[in-house]
C-alpha cells in the first residue's frame, strides 16, 4: 500500500512516465481500446506525506504493519540514498479489510491488474490477485 496525496496526473501521463515516451499512451489506447473507452481519464499525481506522518497514522492500527519498499531499505542501512515517490506500508492480507475500515475517511483505490486503478469501497474484500491499494 502506498501512501500519498493525489494531485493532477492523468492515466496517459502515467503511461508516459512508465515508458518514457509520449507515443506510448496512444499505443496503450490502441492496444486496448475498450480500456481507453471504459477508463475515466482521472487526474492524479502522487505527493507523499512525510514518513513520520504515515508512521503516526498507522501507530493506532490494531494489526501488524511495517514500513516496506525504499524507505525500509534506508531504515535498515541507516541513511537516505534517494528521493521517494511514495511510502510503502505492508499489512497481512488477512487484515486488508481492517486497513480499509481504519482509513474510512480516505479515498482509497485498488490497483487491479493489469494496470486498472479502481475505487475500493468499504467493506469490499479484495480479490487475491490485488496486492496494492
Q: What pLDDT sits at residue 23?
A: 47
Q: What pLDDT sits at residue 38?
A: 53
The domains of the chain are located at 1-47
Q: What pLDDT sits at residue 12?
A: 44
Q: What pLDDT sits at residue 4?
A: 46
Task: Print pLDDT tens along the chain (133 aa).
Answer: 655 444 443 444 444 444 344 444 455 455 555 554 555 555 566 677 899 999 999 999 999 999 999 999 999 999 998 988 888 999 999 999 999 999 999 989 898 887 788 999 999 999 999 988 8
Give the number of C-alpha atoms closer than 13 A to the C-alpha of residue 97, restricted to the C-beta side.
8
Q: What pLDDT sits at residue 15?
A: 41
Q: Is pTM, for the whole model, over 0.85?
A: no
By the 10 Å C-beta count (0-12 exposed, 13-18 middle, 19+ buried), 52 is classed as exposed
Amino acid at each position: 500500500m502506498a501512501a500519498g496525496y493525489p494531485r493532477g496526473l492523468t492515466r496517459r501521463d502515467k503511461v508516459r512516465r512508465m515508458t518514457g515516451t509520449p507515443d506510448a499512451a496512444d499505443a496503450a489506447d490502441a492496444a486496448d481500446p475498450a480500456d481507453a473507452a471504459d477508463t475515466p481519464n482521472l487526474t492524479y499525481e502522487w505527493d507523499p506525506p512525510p514518513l513520520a506522518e504515515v508512521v503516526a497514522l498507522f501507530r493506532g492500527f490494531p494489526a501488524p504493519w511495517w514500513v516496506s519498499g525504499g524507505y525500509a531499505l534506508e531504515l535498515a542501512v541507516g541513511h537516505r540514498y534517494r528521493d521517494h515517490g511514495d511510502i510503502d506500508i505492508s499489512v497481512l492480507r488477512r487484515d486488508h479489510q481492517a486497513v480499509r475500515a481504519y482509513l474510512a475517511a480516505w479515498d482509497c483505490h485498488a490497483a487491479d491488474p493489469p494496470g486498472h486503478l479502481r475505487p475500493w469501497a468499504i467493506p469490499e474484500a479484495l480479490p487475491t490477485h490485488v496486492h496494492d491499494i
